[in-house]
Copies of this chain bind each other. A is one copy, B any other.
Amino acid sequence: MSGRLFHYNTLGTLMKGGFDGAFTFEEVLKNGGIGIGTVDHLDGELVILDHHGYRFDVTGQIHEVHLEDTTPYAAVIDFIPENKTTLNEKINKEILEEKMLGQFSSKNVFQAVKLHGRFSKIKCRSVQKQEKPYPDLVDVARDQAEFTAEDVTGTLVGIYTPALFGTISASGFHLHFISDDHHFGGHVLAFEINEPLITWQTIDTVEQKFPVGDPTFMKTDFDYSSVLEDIAEAE
């Protein structure tokens, strides 16, 4: 059991408007076979698949990121599917999460999850590009755009975060989606799928990166007092 998750800055700081891109995708994609996150100025939802980065903007359009583009927040891993299972039933997001918790090696470590299949229904969201002064993400998420698709084949990628790390990541499951035809995706809100094949990997090391080259991040006095509630509402 091993796997190294690269965590670029924190969801906590993103929640408090830390939207400036501080890490290049050249660095991120080197370490990320699959992953989630966003891009500079919070200009959409990021899906990383096969070491390529795709962002879905607030209109639902997809754009492949360039190596010189930057991200303020991403969680990525060079995924090795150590474990797999097929759930022999029709499931939704809540059932997937409950079933996976029963099969994980532990709820106390991070786990990386990948699921490819045909979804009878899937609902995703994306967020609007922001300009300074940046608002909190919880306020941006209240105006999020939501998209629903039916009978779409694609890949769900995501991270399970143990409770103790709920201020820097989203406690529990954080899932993003990209369709095989690259026409649909984003941050996953809900889905239904029949008999999915799920793969996952236990993470024994998290490499937490801080944007020490970003003067705004370094000097900002963030107020994290509501961060757990904000993550619960926005994610």
One of A47-55, A58-66, A102-110 contacting the partner: A102-110
Minimal Cβ-Cβ distance residue in B for A202:
B212
Please report which residues of chain A, range 180-219, place their CB below 8 angstroms from some CB of chain B when the two chains form the complex: 202-210, 212, 217-219
- Asked if A224 is at the interface of the complex by the 8 Å CB criterion, the answer is yes
- Asked if A155 is at the interface of the complex by the 8 Å CB criterion, the answer is no
- Distance from A122 Cβ to chain B, minimum over Cβ atoms (Å): 31
Cβ-defined contact, B208 with A108, below 8 A: no
Cβ-defined contact, A210 with B108, below 8 A: yes
Number of copies: 2
Cβ-defined contact, B210 with A208, below 8 A: no
Tally A residues with Cβ within 8 Å of B. Answer: 35
- Distance from A98 Cβ to chain B, minimum over Cβ atoms (Å): 15
- Asked if A149 is at the interface of the complex by the 8 Å CB criterion, the answer is no
Cβ-defined contact, A206 with B204, below 8 A: no
Q: Which residues of B contact A145 (CB under 8 A)?
A: none
Cβ-defined contact, A106 with B205, below 8 A: no
Q: Which residues of B contact A166 (CB under 8 A)?
A: 167
Of B12, B109, B164, B209, the contact of A227 (CB 8 Å cutoff): B164
Of B108, B205, B217, the contact of A220 (CB 8 Å cutoff): B108
Q: Which residues of B contact A164 (CB under 8 A)?
A: 10, 12-13, 167-168, 222, 224, 227
User: Which residues on A are within 8 Å of B, measured CB to CB?
Assistant: 1-2, 10, 12-13, 105-110, 163-168, 202-210, 212, 217-222, 224, 227
Would you mind naming 8 contact pairs between A and B with Cβ atoms under 8 Å apart? A106-B218, A108-B222, A163-B224, A164-B168, A164-B222, A204-B209, A205-B207, A206-B210
Given contacts A166-B167, A205-B209, 13 further A-B contacts (CB under 8 A): A2-B212, A13-B108, A106-B212, A108-B217, A109-B210, A167-B167, A203-B210, A204-B210, A205-B207, A206-B207, A206-B208, A206-B210, A208-B208
